[in-house]
Structure 1
């Protein structure tokens, strides 16, 4: 995949269907990496997907007309929360995750954020390496995914 052909943009509320499609793909591909499940996501209706896009900035990476990655960020100023990073298997190792992370960093700058925090499920080495490469560090805060999911996760932060 030629990185020059990949474009990252923020999804608008009217694009809820595109968000739904990539989120379902992400949950089917990597259920171990997320706190929600494919079954839960399939139960959401249009109103639910629109509401999610109202509460977050959700970025989509696409090559031509094919979605190859997504990431979300919540909060408005101060400490922002990076959520739901996913890159399609065919685009892994190509720099798409870096492009998505740069979109989050740009968004944080515009919003006046001074810190970005995120959680990584224990054992997701690729995700930890990506964030470490961009200056994120473990905080020592540990917990579980939540919502009845007891898998361990750890927090990472980047001070802007």
Structure 2
């Protein structure tokens, strides 16, 4: 198994892993739905895969088994689009994906990495705590029409190895 950011011309890999993530996740877990992403054409997938910020994919011989992305907002980098295939859960893939994002943010010179975790998603919150994240106290609704709470978590990034 290896983890690497995808290149823009690897849009079909981005499509595969994103559709797998959306298909197997409860509504509201990600910013788009499976049915919405199914309607995207090649050009939209190319644009999504070619974003300025990295999208890491964990791959096994059988194909993609996980993903994690980064967006950089005015407040700094955020871990987004974290997903691990059910068959790969408990194997360390999630920890390695989070580690890849942490290393990217550290190398890019950021002092902190943040994320939002859906309330009640204990496995995700346990992963983030295990990898050094703590709740900041900030809470927001999951979406415009979804009042479920999301909790912000953050991890300080040291620049020592």
TM-score (normalizing by structure 2): 0.89
Shift of 1:59: 0.5
Secondary structure (helix, strand or coil) at the match of 1:113 reads: coil
Number of equivalenced pairs: 155
Partner of 1:45: 41
Q: Tell me, in whole angstroms, the C-alpha distance in 1 between the residues paired with 2:136 and 2:75.
A: 17
Structure 2 unaligned blocks of 5 or more: none
Corresponding residue of 1:88:
85
Note the alpha carbon deviations across 1:131-159, whole angstroms, 9 max, x for none.
Answer: 00111000111111224333221110111
In the alignment, structure 1 segments of 5+ residues that lack a partner are: 1-5
More helix by share: 1
Aligned to 2:154: 157
2:58 is matched with 61
| SS of residue matched to 1:139 | strand
The TM-score normalised by the length of structure 1 is 0.90
Residue from 5, 12, 16 that aligns with 2:7: 12
Q: CA deviation at 1:71?
A: 0.5
Distance 1:11 1:31 in 2: 25
CA distance in 2, matches of 1:51, 1:145: 25
SS of aligned partner of 2:35:
helix
CA separation of 1:20/1:147 partners in 2, compared to 1, >3 Å: closer, same or farther?
A: farther
Partner of 1:141: 138
